[in-house]
Amino acid sequence: METTEDIVADECLDPEKVKLELIAKYPTKVARKRAKQIIINKIGETGDVPEIQSNVRTTPGLIGQRGCCYAGCKGVVLGPTRDIVNITHGPIGCGYYSWLTRRNQTDPDSSPGTSSDGHNFMPYCFSTDMQEEQIIFGGEKKLKQAIQEAYDIFKPKAIGVFATCPVGLIGDDVHSVCKEMKEKLNINVFGFSCEGYKGVSQSAGHHIANNGVFTHVVGTDDSVREGEFKINLLGEYNIGGDAFEIERIFEKCGITLVSTFSGNSTVEGFANAHTADVNLIMCHRSINYVAEMMEKKYGIPWIKVNFISAESTAKSLRKIAAYFENSKLTERVEAVIAEEMPAVEKARNAIYPRTKGKRVMLFVGGSRAHHYQDLFKELGMITLSAGYEFGHRDDYEGRKVLPDIKVDADSRNIQELEVHPDPDNFRPRKGSEEIERLKKQGVVFSEYDGMMPDMPNNTLIIDDLSQYETDQLIEIYKPDMFCAGIKEKYAIQKHGIPMKQLHSYDYGGPYAGFAGAINFYHDIDRMVNSRIWSYMKAPWQKNPELMATYAWE
């Protein structure tokens, strides 16, 4: 079977040449900047990879894939929690377009460890609908009214308020309004200064959301839930029902899920997350802050996991068992893997001959461009190029580069919370000797190696890919499948290339865990082997280009 090396040995696909081609038409300054964000992967003998510039502003004029700070805070991190009324303080457009149509799912009767109260506010869109009047005279009064109205109608346990760009520009103090309403209503009301323009992408919003949830919610309920092997799952957002599949597997293994941040979650779950024995991180980019802060404040260690792909799921379950060092758990985990894998293998073996050697590119968010490569590997597909929209250097190169990352003004804008051990609740889950012993046994703590060490040499790693570069890449490589988001979807399809959304799964999924892997194999098989794409003719292929001259010429 062809490998990446074979493919790029073709002179036209030489990554050095492709890189030059991608930036050839840019003005010198832009080309220089993009050259630092388009990297040809080379893994050194010690596992080191080249430096990639990331988490910097998108060049104005380039059409990028990114979202805003508000999107990262309200949409991504807080959005999937079903029992918080999330109010967008701003003009209606921000609320309307962040309405959770991207298929975070929830089950009001069975969020982990929570009483079933039937609360589910996710299908609603709450906004203060600011008008010119509020922009000129201030919107705090309208915000107070909105909080009161939401409380009167829904009687929620908590209300979150999210600031949009104009709120930051006119200076409404959402935090003091929330404080006042919290005292008045006697429920948790908290605000987020997540104005869209903050930072360089939605990544800033993740950090702000993490700070807010950690400050206002985590640790507010000390009740300890029954069950053995208590874990939190961080950075899993229940897209397309992924969390349901992961919860099914945990339950089968006898692992107690205290809380998920934040797929299929509730505010109660966050409140006693500090009672878990270990934190598992799925999406490192969006939530590593919470894991770090919980370790400092409560003594809970964290381990990186991935439940995308059957092999990765099995590996992650074994990591959990290794952490707890309990023979009963180890046996159960092995039994579950043995029970689940035959169906996975059966589906894979049937599909593999049709998908092996197909070429794929993934440009998604801050973690999926890495995680989904494992699923494509199981299908024998080759990842030629990948990149994040807004990942940081540690998501590409691994956390070992953290000390070398220069903090720029945009990042300094986002508050770093100072966290200390909690006098009542700090309890190191493992002693230092135990940790050392576990490390020797191969348990890796507080580490994420990033995407690049996992990718073959000579693959193109591209940060913050632009639409222009997308078109170029497709023309040059003619991949069999391109993975990105809704904004990119139709332009890619017009090239006659199947495009898989990995943000909302195009209404497919779940893709996590064992059952999810099977779903994914089937969906990808259908897409890469459909002949429909070869019949595609883009409008510009059917009709000649329109030419015009200026009237004065």
Catalytic residue positions, numbered: 68, 71, 102, 206
Considering only residues 362 to 381 of the shown chain, the ones binding ligand CFM according to CB under 6 A are 364-368
229 forms beta bridges with none
**Which residue among 18, 34, 72, 355 contacts ligand CFM (CB under 6 A)?**
72
Residue with Cβ nearer ligand CFM (81 or 367)? 367
DSSP state of 220: S
DSSP state of 265: B
CB of 282 to ligand CFM, least distance (A): 7
Distance, in Å, from the CA atom of 81 to the CA atom of 217, rounded to the nearest integer, reads 13
Beta-carbon-side half-sphere exposure of residue 109 (alpha carbons within 13 Å):
0
Considering only residues 204 to 263 of the shown chain, the ones binding ligand CFM according to CB under 6 A are 235, 237, 239
Distance, in Å, from the CA atom of 530 to the CA atom of 528, rounded to the nearest integer, reads 6
Burial of 38 (0-12, 13-18, 19+ CB in 10 A): buried
Q: Which x/- pattern, by CB under 6 A, does the window 308-347 give for ligand CFM?
A: ----------------------------------------
b (16+ CB within 10 A) / e for 237-271: bbbbbbbbbbbebbeebebbbbbbbbbbbbbbbbb
Instruction: Check residue 393 for interaction with ligand CFM (CB under 6 A).
Output: no
Instruction: Check residue 283 for interaction with ligand CFM (CB under 6 A).
Output: yes
Q: Which stretch binds ligand CFM (CB under 6 A): 299-307, 343-351, 360-368, 441-449?
A: 360-368
Count residues binding ligand CFM (CB under 6 A): 15
DSSP state of 117: -
Distance, in Å, from the CA atom of 434 to the CA atom of 277, rounded to the nearest integer, reads 14
Residue with Cβ nearer ligand CFM (366 or 508)? 366
**Which residue among 49, 76, 294, 361 contacts ligand CFM (CB under 6 A)?**
76
Considering only residues 186 to 205 of the shown chain, the ones binding ligand CFM according to CB under 6 A are 202
Distance, in Å, from the CA atom of 526 to the CA atom of 169, rounded to the nearest integer, reads 48
Residue with Cβ nearer ligand CFM (285 or 393)? 285
CB of 441 to ligand CFM, least distance (A): 29
CB of 202 to ligand CFM, least distance (A): 5
Instruction: Check residue 79 for interaction with ligand CFM (CB under 6 A).
Output: no
How many residues are present in the chain?
553
**Closest by CA position to 356, among listed 382, 384, 386, 385:** 382
Q: Which residue is nearest to ligand CFM (CB)?
A: 365
**Which residue among 134, 232, 286, 385 contacts ligand CFM (CB under 6 A)?**
286
Pair of tokens at residue 278: 């270990």
**Closest by CA position to 450, among listed 502, 398, 412:** 398
CB of 205 to ligand CFM, least distance (A): 8
CB of 347 to ligand CFM, least distance (A): 24
In the block, tokens 């919470």 appear at: 290
Q: Which stretch binds ligand CFM (CB under 6 A): 297-305, 359-367, 410-418, 532-540?
A: 359-367
Helix and strand counts by DSSP (H, E) for the chain: 23, 14
CB of 4 to ligand CFM, least distance (A): 22
**Closest by CA position to 386, among listed 489, 456, 317, 321:** 456
Q: How would you list the strands of the sheet with 38-40, edge to edge? A: 38-40, 460-462, 382-387, 359-363, 481-484, 499-501
Residue with Cβ nearer ligand CFM (495 or 503)? 503
**Closest by CA position to 213, among listed 325, 119, 289, 104:** 289
Residue with Cβ nearer ligand CFM (229 or 289)? 289
Residue 170 identity: I
Q: Which stretch binds ligand CFM (CB under 6 A): 281-289, 373-381, 428-436, 473-481?
A: 281-289
Q: Which x/- pattern, by CB under 6 A, does the window 493-522 give for ligand CFM?
A: ----------x-------------------
Q: Which residues bind ligand CFM (CB under 6 A)?
A: 72, 76, 202, 235, 237, 239, 283, 285-286, 364-368, 503
